[in-house]
Chains A and B, each alone.
Chain A
Amino acid sequence: MHILIVEDELPLMESMVSYLEMEGFRCEQATSYHAGLCSLDKHAYICMLIDLNLPDGEGLDLVRLARQNKTSSGIIIVSARNALEERVKGLSLGADDYLVKPFHLSELVARIQSVARRTRTQGEEILKFGVIRVMPEERTCYVNERQVDLTRKEHDLLLYMMANRNRVITKESIADYLWGEYGGGYGSYDFVYTHLKNLKRKLQDAGSPDYVQNIYGVGYKFTLE
């Protein structure tokens, strides 16, 4: 469960490491291009988080080098640069995802898991949470062997909650995850609420307990307790 983080901004690095370690990942930290280069082959990472603006080099080169080494790790570019060309360039060099700073840590985790799923080689993955089973690839969801019909957004929302189980998830982070950058606006918080309500209803109708804890004014927590 190793993750390589190449990021020159130390406070940001610390936040990412703390959050990811809470999620059970082991983090390899590199604060410069060269440190990143040295760490590329240290472990079989499930995911690499690479910043583009590094003091001694270009993050894109790391992406290229990592892919030349035929690494099977997922690569997520984490950058303050938000131009479409940058994204296209990064993705065409072999990155799996592109996350724009500033981001939500919960979104980072969801993306890491999504990328890790995509790069996984062996068979279909089944995610379990209490009585809920989700097969992300087929977009199917079961509660105690009973299939639950979810819309695309509800499915994404469930995966997001499951990726950030036992964590406080803010409404904003959900809205941003489901909507992306330019969608939503303030209206989308109502939208998050409605979607979550529908999702909860569908799961409970199928016999699942209510796993969603409402944290008043802040957001939600997906937990077995």
Chain B
Amino acid sequence: MKLLTKTTLYIATLSLFLFFFMGIIFFQVLKNMSISELNRELSRTKEVVVDVFPHFLGGQLKGLPGIDSISIKLAWPGMEASDQFGDTLMLEPMTNQYMTFRYIQFRSEHGNVAYAIKLFKSTTPADKLVEQVTLMMTMMVILFLAGIFFLNRFIFANLWKDFFGALEKLKQFDTVKEPLKLGDPDVEEFIELNRVLERMSLRLCSDYRELREYTDHTTHELQTPLAVIKTKTELLMQSTNLGSKEMQLLQSINTSTNHLSRLNSTLALITRIENQQFTQKLKINLKELLDKHLGMLHELVELRNIVVERRCEGKKQFITMDNGLADILVTNLLNNAIVHNVEGGKIIVEVADGALCISNNGPALSFNEQDLFKRFVRDTKRTGNFGLGLSLVKKICDYYGFRISYTYEMDLHLFRIIFPK
């Protein structure tokens, strides 16, 4: 949920809750006030009625100010002597509707006769007032909420502008590029936030650069000692007084050194790709490139009785990239298809519109499919390769924005590279 939505929701919930209870209390208080006001008026009228009661009996007075109706009955036994207030419904002759009335009932003696007198007063005007006031209150609440809503939007559009700007820049941040430059907002917290972010990005960039330089230097510096070991073992092998056991030992050293140097040069290559040191861009005919490498691998393919099926007739597909990297990309994919193939298996090379597909027979992966392009992930049963070929392929694809995918269906491993238009 967005920050704006969430804040608005919180404010709306709280204000609705508050306004609801405040409204109920306010309504009650108002109601009580209007009732007690009616009671007071009725009591006052009662004084008058008691004073002028004889005239009533004489029938001289038809109405009294301040009340709407009066009823006089003989008091009944057991009637309360004190004043009684209450509400009742009565038919209003004018509108022919039942309306609420407030009444006071009291006992009055005249001559030796006790009367029960009831004075009525309509509550309608008071109710109207309460209604009006409540309506006004509700209007105010709505206006207030609308106000809050727009204020919130305004705050977000203005106050938080710098925050969202920084967020946008942060999203585009890449350790390969420059460290973040976030500018100076006029809110102190945001200035602090920006400073912290800038410091962090600076740190990230420099760490990344140092790591790259470190790998770069290490891989480079390793080559010379490796060359020394390699040449010394080779020299030692030429000694005539070595037994076969010693030769085997030397060969082990030699094999491991070769392994190490291959590993090292591949890592150096990956580092150079990560360092974006390949800037050359050439238009390469994919079909020619494939033909060249298939020709070079021809003997290796035959050795394992593998059938290569080409499906690129008549299609001209060009890719734009460094030609050295193009060679590496294709040889690694083809090598992979040969090495992980079965005796007498098949390789299908297909150049389709904007895509290159290379598929080969072979047993299913012995590891998780998601790890296929990771470094040093390989089939543990096989030795001699170190699981860098495909991660190199992935690096090259990422570098040029090619999309590479892998599927395994019907005994066929399929690598598909989709080139951007």
Contact = CB atoms under 8 A, between A and B. Distances in A.
B254 interface: yes
A153 interface: yes
Interface string B387-408: 0010000000000000000000
> Size class of A's contact patch?
35 or more
Contacts, number: 128
A84 B228 CA distance: 23
Interface stretch (A66-74, A122-130, A135-143, A185-193): A185-193
* Most chain B beta-carbon neighbours within 10 Å: one of A80, A153, A188: A80
A101 interface: yes
B258 A172 contact: yes
B247 A217 contact: yes
B7 interface: no
B96 to A, nearest CB: 105
Contacts of A11: 228, 232
Contacts of B231: 12, 15-16, 19, 102-105
A186 B303 contact: no
> Size class of B's contact patch?
35 or more
Interface stretch (B31-39, B99-107, B331-339): B331-339
A185 B339 contact: yes
A182 B251 contact: no
B123 interface: no
A37 interface: no
B248 A217 contact: yes
B230 A102 contact: yes
A80 B216 CA distance: 12
A106 B231 CA distance: 9
Given A103-B227, A103-B231, A187-B384, 18 more contacts: A19-B238, A80-B224, A81-B220, A84-B322, A101-B226, A102-B224, A102-B230, A102-B261, A106-B234, A151-B299, A172-B255, A182-B328, A183-B331, A186-B339, A186-B383, A217-B248, A217-B251, A219-B251
> Which 5 interchain pairs have the tightest Cβ spacing?
A186-B384, A102-B227, A15-B231, A80-B223, A84-B324
18 contacts: A12-B228, A18-B235, A80-B220, A83-B277, A102-B228, A103-B231, A168-B238, A182-B335, A184-B335, A187-B335, A187-B338, A187-B339, A190-B303, A195-B299, A216-B244, A218-B247, A218-B248, A219-B251
Interface of B: 220, 223-224, 226-232, 234-235, 237-238, 244, 247-248, 250-251, 254-255, 257-258, 261, 265, 268-269, 272, 277, 280, 296-297, 299-300, 303-304, 322-324, 327-328, 331-332, 335, 338-339, 382-385, 389
